[in-house]
Amino acid sequence: MKRFHLFFAFILLLTFVALESTAFAQNEPVLYFCEKYGRNGEIGVSDRFTTGYLTVIVKADYALGLDDVAIQFDKYNYRTGEFEYYDKFHYSIDPDMKYIFFEKNEESDMNFKEPGIYRVFLLDERDRTVASALIEIIE
């Protein structure tokens, strides 16, 4: 009977510890996509789009501390089963930014011209991955 009480006390203690622990859903920057960024924010958020211009959104709980970044597309090659470099667009941002949208501008067109599966990266000035996501482009 004493063992049962010890076991019950142990289970009760574990339950309290589990209830007190905090889980954070986002501890890394998140990269996702929308059709465009308008006056009221993101329009048409998804991970599947038709060919054309898109907007890449990066969101973090903290300032990213970056100046010069790039958005890189790698396209999946079904024949080799690997992702291959497709295109890269450079942007300048403020280091204190924690919510950024990257869209077509004079230097970067952000155009997914061909259907396929793409791996999209936000890269820092040393080409290290800050965030990434997959997107499917259909006709």
Residue 1 lies in a domain: no
Q: Say how many domains are in the chain.
A: 1
Residue 128 lies in a domain: yes
Residue 116 lies in a domain: yes
Mean pLDDT, rounded, for 105-122: 91
Residue 127 lies in a domain: yes
Is the CB of residue 103 less than 8 Å from the CB of residue 111? no
Residue 104 lies in a domain: yes
Least confident piece of the model among 23-37, 40-54, 58-72, 87-101: 23-37
Residue 11 lies in a domain: no
Whether the pLDDT of residue 3 is over 70: the answer is no
pLDDT at 18: 46
pLDDT band (50, 70, 90) for residue 7: very low
| Residue 15 main-chain phi, psi, to 5 deg | -65, -45
The three-state (H, E, C) secondary structure of the chain, written as one string = CHHHHHHHHHHHHHHHHHHHCCCCCCCCCEEEEECEEECCEEECCECEEECEECEEEEECCCCCCCCEEEEEEEEEECCCCEEEEEEEEEEECCCCCCEEEECCCCCCCCEECCCEEEEEEEECCCCCEEEEEEEEEEC
pLDDT at 27: 67
Mean pLDDT, rounded, for 95-101: 96
**Rounded Cα distance, 98 and 96, in Å:** 7
Radius of gyration of the chain (CA): 21
pLDDT at 56: 96
Mean pLDDT, rounded, for 108-129: 94
Mean pLDDT, rounded, for 26-54: 92
For residue 72, give its domain range.
26-138
**pLDDT > 90 fraction of the chain, expressed in percent and rounded:** 73
Q: In terms of pLDDT, which residue wins out, 89 or 20? A: 89
CATH (domain of 60): 2.60.40.2840
Residue 75 lies in a domain: yes
pLDDT band (50, 70, 90) for residue 80: very high
Query: pTM to 2 decimals?
Result: 0.77
Whether the pLDDT of residue 71 is over 80: the answer is yes
